[in-house]
Amino acid sequence: MNRASIHCLQILLLAVGLTAWGLQTSRLYRDGKFAKEHNVLHLKQSPFGRTLSLAMRGPVDVYWHRGEPHEHPPGEEHAHDHSHQPGLAAGEDRELDYLASLLEEDDHQCEHEECEHDHCDHPDDTPVAVKKEFSGVRPYLLDRIETMRTAYNSRTNRAAESPRHKAYIMGEMEKKLAVGYELDPSNLAAYGAYFLFKSEALARVEGESGEGLLILDRRRKAHTLAHRTLQYCWSLPAEAPAMITGASAAHDCLQMMAEHPEPDIQLAQRYLQRLEMMLGHYEVIRQAMIENGTWEDFPAPRRIEMEKTHSLIRTLQRADLDYWNGHLTRTTPDPRPGPGSGS
């Protein structure tokens, strides 16, 4: 067989293979069995992925707060109930104004600890730079990495952020939150942060055309995220973190449905049942782990986080029941005969 015939045969086999692959893919896609999401090294939803999801909480916070130090008490790492304003106008940040004034005073340069001149007067509230002692190569390298990360994520422009820059920050944040969630959908903090971002963050776009449609679209996507998380956590009935995350997702589904003009009452009832079942499973699992001594295997911040979320969801469950029972009563037709009907 000559070379031309070999090439023709190879091309023919390649065309047949591509055609067969296309037909098979099309059938899988129609049946909803085609895997469209990439899972590099199978990290997503694996034990290593869960560990990485926990480790990503710090970097996401650093990026969100523009590299500024941001500490929360244990168990309240994502309780963002205070305002953050990285874009301060001139005159609103006394520390930056003080540093700027020092740069302008070229004729007055002296160290606070080594100054021996009588004319050097330092205010009592002047921050004193403490020289750190060298404690080893590893701590030094870690400090340098932290400094570089802070410098990379920090803002140097004192003017307020432009809409385009805010959109860029939002887009990058969504990518990071999505990666943390996909690594472990049962992670309470990863899901909660991603859901909050989906339902609220990008909806707060002022002055843009079609803002109402944008909000509806974001809420629809947030509902889809909560429903998918609920289904995933339900497949892990023996894990306490999955049960409490699933209960939180069930409540979020109810919240999204409550904002719909014509909610599906039967679907809401299924969410209410699933919410009660997941909270009950969590309580049973927690009690069993306490009795056999494995509850302490969870780090203290995660235990506090789960306990606070459980208490909160139990309280919100009562509000959900009151709302949907009242909604069901209002939408149920009156079985009594009308005024014009015969007996």
For the packed helices 57-64 and 163-183, what is the interaxial angle rounded to 10 degrees? Answer: 170
What is the reported pLDDT for 137?
84
Q: Of 124, 150, 15, which is closest to residue 70 (Cα–Cα)?
A: 150
Its pTM stands at 0.65
pLDDT tens by residue, 61-98 = 555 555 444 455 444 444 444 444 444 444 444 544 54
Tell whether the model's pLDDT for residue 235 goes beyond 90. yes
Question: What is residue 33's predicted lDDT score, i.e. its pLDDT?
Answer: 67
329 or 53, higher pLDDT: 53
**Mean pLDDT across 233-243:** 96
The type of residue at 123 is P
Max Cα–Cα distance, the chain, nearest Å? 108
The Cα 101–Cα 109 span in angstroms is 12
**Long-range contacts of 86-92, Cβ-Cβ distance < 8 Å, separation of 24 or more:** 86/155, 86/161, 87/155, 87/159, 87/160, 87/161, 88/158, 88/160, 89/158, 89/159, 89/160, 90/158
Cα gap 282→76, rounded to integer Å: 20
Residue 343: the pLDDT is 37
Could you read off the pLDDT of 50-62 as tens digits, one per residue? 888 888 776 555 5
What values do phi and psi take at 116, rounded to 5? -120, 15
Instruction: Specify the length of the chain in residues.
Output: 343
pLDDT in tens, 262-285: 889 999 999 999 999 999 999 999
The pair of three-digit structure tokens given for residue 4, joined into one six-digit string: 């031309």
Question: How far, in Å, CA of 2 to CA of 7, rounded?
Answer: 9
Kindly give, in sequence order, each residue whose CB lies less than 8 Å from that of residue 34, ignoring residues fewer than 6 positions away: 25, 28
Residue with tokens 């889809």: 224
pLDDT given for residue 69 in this prediction: 45
- What are the pLDDT digits (tens) for 97-110? 544 454 444 444 44
pLDDT tens digits for 177-219?
Answer: 999 999 999 999 999 989 988 887 555 555 556 667 777 788 8
Q: Where are the alpha helices (DSSP H) in 65-162?
A: 94-104, 137-153
